[in-house]
Amino acid sequence: MKLYYTKGTCSFAPHIAMRELGIEPELVAVNLMEKKLGDGSDFRTHNPKGYVPYVEMEDGTGLSECGVIIQYLADKHPEKGLIPAAGTPERYKLMDWLSFIGSELHKNLPPIFLPGIPDDYREIARKRLGARLSYMNAELEGKDYLMGDKFSAADCYAAAILNWTKPAKVDLSAYPNVAAYYERCCARDSVKAAHAAEEAAAA
């Protein structure tokens, strides 16, 4: 299984999931600015959307959206317990978290730190993010992870996106439950292994 990725992006989310599931991906680095692979070929011949992540299966088919990729991977390995069974209330709660992370955290963090964003919009994004982090902080009260005591597919996504609070200079100490949760996620072997693999690939 190939994981087309760019270091420091949301492609880290499915990479964490793969490591949790015991999958050793073939990492393919993507230059997002030029839409090029290491051999100079056009990345868009694989993913016409032109962004990462993109997971390519052995049969040549692929998936390109974080939340869907993570669910797919977890469903292929139900014995690992990263995702509740389809049709259960717990499954819909996990999907609710994936949607929240994708639409509210994933989309509100980059405008705070990416170049070329008007300053007035940066402030709007920062206020929106603060409201979302406050909600997350309340939901994490008394919990180790988003779904309770057990690390799940939703945590793979959240851990990757919360990495962006560093370049965005968002002080998570204002959200103590989120801060503790993020540290807990970063301490997992899967997160450390994904980070080490991407560092090694870049060396």
Question: 84-188, which class in CATH?
Answer: mainly alpha
Residue 8 pLDDT grade (very low, low, confident, very high; cuts 50, 70, 90)? very high
* Span 125-140, pLDDT tens digits: 999 999 999 999 999 9
For residue 201, pLDDT over 90 is answered with: no
Question: Which CATH code is given to the segment(s) 2-79+190-202?
Answer: 3.40.30.10
Tell me what the mean pLDDT of segment 5-29 comes to. Answer: 97
Question: What are the DSSP calls for the chain, one per residue?
Answer: -EEEE-TTSTTHHHHHHHHHTT---EEEEEETTTTEETTS-BGGGT-TT--S-EEE-TTS-EE--HHHHHHHHHHH-GGG-SSPPTTSHHHHHHHHHHHHIIIIITTTSHHHHSTT--HHHHHHHHHHHHHHHHHHHHHTTT-SBTTBSS--HHHHHHHHHHGGGTTTT--GGGSHHHHHHHHHHHTSHHHHHHHHHHHHHH-
Domain with CATH 1.20.1050.10 in the chain: 84-188
First to last CA, the chain: 22
**Which residue reads 């409201």 in tokens?**
131
Residue 151 pLDDT grade (very low, low, confident, very high; cuts 50, 70, 90)? very high
Residue 168 pLDDT grade (very low, low, confident, very high; cuts 50, 70, 90)? very high
Tell me what the mean pLDDT of segment 146-167 comes to. Answer: 98
* Span 172-194, pLDDT tens digits: 999 999 999 999 999 999 999 99
Q: Is the pTM of this model over 0.85?
A: yes
Residue 75 pLDDT grade (very low, low, confident, very high; cuts 50, 70, 90)? very high
Residue 202 pLDDT grade (very low, low, confident, very high; cuts 50, 70, 90)? confident
For residue 58, pLDDT over 80 is answered with: yes
Q: Which residues have C-beta within 8 Å of that of residue 109, sequence separation ≥ 6? A: 125, 129, 161, 164, 165, 168, 170
pLDDT, the chain, mean: 96
For residue 203, pLDDT over 90 is answered with: no
* Span 21-40, pLDDT tens digits: 999 999 999 999 999 999 99
Q: What pLDDT was estimated at residue 106?
A: 95
For residue 12, pLDDT over 80 is answered with: yes
Closest alpha carbon to 73 in 136, 131, 139, 15 = 15
Q: What pLDDT was estimated at residue 99?
A: 97
Tell me what the mean pLDDT of segment 12-22 comes to. Answer: 98
Q: What pLDDT was estimated at residue 190?
A: 97
Closest alpha carbon to 68 in 13, 26, 145 = 13
